[in-house]
Amino acid sequence: MSLKTRAILVLVIGTVMGLSLSFGGGFLAQQRPAEEGLAWDKARLFAEVVERVKQDYLEPVDDSALLEAAIRGMVSDLDPHSQYLDADEYRDIRIGTTGSYTGIGIEITELDGAVRIITPIAGSPAARSGLRSGDQVIAVDGTAVEANNLQEVIGSMRGKAGSKISITVARNDDAIVYEMRREVIRVASVHHEVLNPSYGYVRVNQFSETTARELSRAIDELQDSKGGMLEGLVLDLRNNPGGVLDAAVDVSDLFLDSGVIVTAQGRTADSRFTRSAHRGDVLDGADIIVLVNKGSASASEIVAGALQDHGRAAVLGTDTFGKGLVQTVMPLSRGRAIKLTTSRYFTPSGDSIHKTGITPDVFVEDTPGFPDLSLTGTIDREKDAQLVAAVERLQHRQVMHSKAK
């Protein structure tokens, strides 16, 4: 065994054993001899693999590249949402939650061994090109993608603003190629319109640190345009892939006077928490319809579930995506980080929606092409079946949910 490989073995053993002692509260003291022996055996195996790769692989491989790849694989193998972030990826994450990033405006995930689109962001190159929620991404710029390397796929979609990119997706047994140019994607975006003299419409595209403030401001503008309080609101969360959990809590809190918004359970004290509403409803009890579909995920489901369980709104549309796990971004040295699944969240009624989603109170199938504000910049009051159904229910005051206490 080479000197470098011995060093790697020591590093791995230190990671497996020593770091667990430092951060795990006495891991070694609690570990049985058989388990300790297994950890050493796995560390030895890792070093043997590194040695073989370095010695026999077709091209020379840098030690640091091998170790980083091992770390990336270790974290990504935990679940589809956990990932190691190098400095550039970590920067993108921070930018994405606070303002903008450069890319095509698409949220993807690994699902059942395939890379699938959760949703294209409204107004983005992805949305304008025709990419849809549920499409399977099979190639980027002609290079086949692998579901077990999701972060690399995401990275390949990022690039300089104005540069060309092609995305190949599988849809209904057809392979379709979409070509577009990367742009600066504005993540935090709230669109609002007056539906009629009594009702307002607000669409939340994604949850970032500014979403609750933007939404509150949008509602104020709707109320000012009416000259008083709204009688009803359509809150459109369709094709909203989620984002910052605290933003979902703050948005829910805008419409609730009291009660639990979301709870979370994990292994550590920080990952177990309850978020509750504070007094003050910006609509003063006016009726709300929440629109959702299969592209509504994560933070969107927290809002829909909270308003539904408290009887504050009726949820209308189709079953949501079903992402009920919380990820925490943990900074590391030299600008790097890991995004690690740390909690499972529950709606106020105690339900976990992971892999099941939120079931709407009123099921109305998506109309092909809706919701999509990217082409016209406005809603369609006649052809969007879910929006039409929401307005009808507001007019007939059919909004309360059966779980209301």
Residues labelled as active-site residues: 298, 309, 323
Residue 341 main-chain phi, psi, to 5 deg: -70, 120
Return the SS3 of 306. helix
Residue 299: how many other CB atoms lie within 10 Å = 30
What tokens appear for 55 in the block? 């010695």
Distance CA 49, CA 212 (A): 49
**Strand stretches in 93-189, DSSP E:** 100-103, 106-111, 114-120, 136-140, 143-144, 164-171, 174-181, 183-186
Distance CA 133, CA 371 (A): 11
Q: Which residues of 216-244 are buried (b: 16+ CB within 10 A; e: fewer)?
A: eebbeebbeebeeebbbbbbbbbbbbbbb
8, 48, 68, 144, 277 from 42: Cα distances, Å: 13, 10, 18, 32, 48
Distance CA 2, CA 49 (A): 13
Bridge partner list, 341: 327
Distance CA 96, CA 205 (A): 13
8 Å CB contact between 400 and 314: yes
Evaluate the omega torsion of the peptide bond into residue 197 and state whether it is cis, within 30 degrees of 0: no
CA 309 to chain centre: 22
Measured over the CA atoms of residue 155, residue 161, residue 167 and residue 171, the dihedral's sign is: positive
Measured over the CA atoms of residue 87, residue 92, residue 95 and residue 97, the dihedral's sign is: negative
Bridge partner list, 254: none
Short-list 82, 84, 130, 85, CA closest to 109: 82
